[in-house]
Chain A
Amino acid sequence: DIVMTQTPLSLSVTPGQPASISCKSSQSLLHSDGKTYLYWYLQKPGQSPQLLIYEVSNRFSGVPDRFSGSGSGTDFTLKISRVEAEDVGVYYCLETIQYTFGQGTQLEIK
């Protein structure tokens, strides 16, 4: 089974400062079609998860450009260049070979 490990599990960031979340997979997420099916979501308090990044590094429609994704193989990173108050919530990574989520990273504002 694929295990997705996110670090850190919680993050406290001053508005305007950057933030970074890591997601490591127990096996390569590179598909035979050449794509890597790694996604990032934000679940704001009381809401359903919303897609931020698809296939490692593509911002979904309407997602601010302060969000970026990178990585390959088994190591992936979500970066927020300048955290804003509206970015509070839990961030999840997801792989769609076996459809496994990371444990989630809680981001709060200092």
Chain B
Amino acid sequence: QVQLQESGPGLVNPSETLSLTCTVSGGSLSSDYWSWIRQPPGKGLEWIGYIRYSGSTNYRPSLKSRVTISLDTSKNQVSLRLSSVTAADTAVYYCARGVRAWGQGTLVTVSS
């Protein structure tokens, strides 16, 4: 049973870069593609992007200029970087294995 655990700073300053890590246990990164999704407080879900084991990525067009998703196969981790953040980027950030299994999510607040 694959488990996913998001981690990273809970507070990020405006204009800085949000960096999160998803640690995958009980499975290999080669077994699927890996996604990041976010949910602003009290609102709906928004797909950020995904990465395949090959390294190919697919990002939400409106975020493409600010997003980087990468893999660290040695640590079995998936990373998210979102640059130049504003208050609108405040959300719970989830990582997921494809579309099937999600982590518990981590709240990131953008505020000074």
Interface residues of A (CB under 8 A from B): 39, 47-51, 54, 60, 92, 94, 96, 99-104
Contacts and interface: CB of A to CB of B under 8 A. Distances in A.
A54 B99 contact: yes
Contacts of A51: 99-101
Contacts, number: 36
The 5 closest A-B pairs by CB, nearest first: A99-B47, A48-B102, A101-B45, A104-B44, A48-B105
Nearest to B104: A48
B45 A96 contact: no
B60 A99 contact: yes
B57 to A, nearest CB: 12
Contact of B100 (A60, A92, A100, A103): A60
B95 to A, nearest CB: 10
A103 B102 CA distance: 19
Nearest to B35: A99
Contacts of B100: 51, 54, 60
B34 interface: no
Given A48-B102, A92-B45, 17 more contacts: A48-B94, A48-B103, A48-B105, A49-B94, A49-B102, A51-B99, A51-B101, A54-B99, A92-B44, A94-B45, A94-B47, A96-B99, A99-B58, A99-B60, A100-B47, A101-B47, A102-B44
B72 interface: no
B48 to A, nearest CB: 9
A56 B37 CA distance: 21
A103 B44 contact: yes
B32 interface: no
Given A92-B44, A101-B46, A103-B44, A39 B99 contact: yes
